[in-house]
Amino acid sequence: MMDIDFQNKGIIDFDEAYSEMMNLISSKPKHHSIWFLEHTPVFTIGISEKTIHEDRSKQPPFIKTDRGGKTTYHGPGQWIFYFMLNLKSLPFPPSELTKNILKTVSGVLTDLDLGHQINNADPGIFISGKKVASIGMRIKKNYSYHGLSININTDLSTFNSIKPCGLDVEACNLEDYININQEEFKNSLIDNFVKLLTK
């Protein structure tokens, strides 16, 4: 069974987390790594974005990244799971990675009796037409990095100042629809991510 290194990194700047991700990938680890964290306020720009450009002078700053997708917001109250996975050791094809992560989150939300929808065309999870979770990843030399964000109780006024992920939709918070025990919800997600990677 592939070892999984899980780390809770708390609240961390995007640039710092990205640098640590790249250092980890460069070390060619034989294990999988999952990080749980929140970012200080930032807009990140994916490689599909054509209309929004990097501007670090703004507050929050707009930072260009190498992940898939367009522009999204990160800030306190939004949970992020970064997946640095050794793709040679996945129990499924790497092409199914983002789809399987979304299915895993969906399964946990279903257990909570929360109505929602997965969108694989514009990858994410939606509640009543609003986006509550997004995913954007990158593969490099047989490793994945970047990952999944879930809005728990983040700053929606800032998030919705852009089109989330380039879509004509609004972002929403999970806690607007359901009361959750955050620790139990987090642990359930982690347990199910581990099952996904070790089945």
DSSP string covering 93-144: -GGGHHHHHHHHHHHHHHHTT---EEETTTTEEEETTEEEEEEEEEEETTEE
Residue 199, pLDDT score: 78
Amino acid letter, 39: H
Asked if residues 139 and 94 have their Cβ atoms less than 8 Å apart, the reply is yes
Asked if residues 32 and 3 have their Cβ atoms less than 8 Å apart, the reply is yes
* Integer Cα distance of 139 and 120 in angstroms: 18
165 is known as an active-site residue: yes
> Using 50, 70 and 90 to split pLDDT, how confident is the model at 162?
confident
Task: List the CATH number of the domain containing 166.
Answer: 3.30.930.10
Give pLDDT tens digits for 13-70.
Answer: 999 999 999 999 999 999 999 999 999 999 999 898 888 899 999 999 999 999 988 8
Provide the residue range defining the domain that includes 96: 4-198
Residue 167, pLDDT score: 57
> Using 50, 70 and 90 to split pLDDT, how confident is the model at 166?
low
Q: Which of 165, 172, 174, 197 is catalytic?
A: 165
Three-state DSSP at 20 gives helix
Residue 164, pLDDT score: 59
Q: How many domains does the chain have?
A: 1
Phi, psi for residue 142 in degrees, rounded to 5 = 70, 20
> Using 50, 70 and 90 to split pLDDT, how confident is the model at 165?
low
pTM of the full predicted structure? 0.94
Give the distance from CA 151 to its chain's centroid: 10
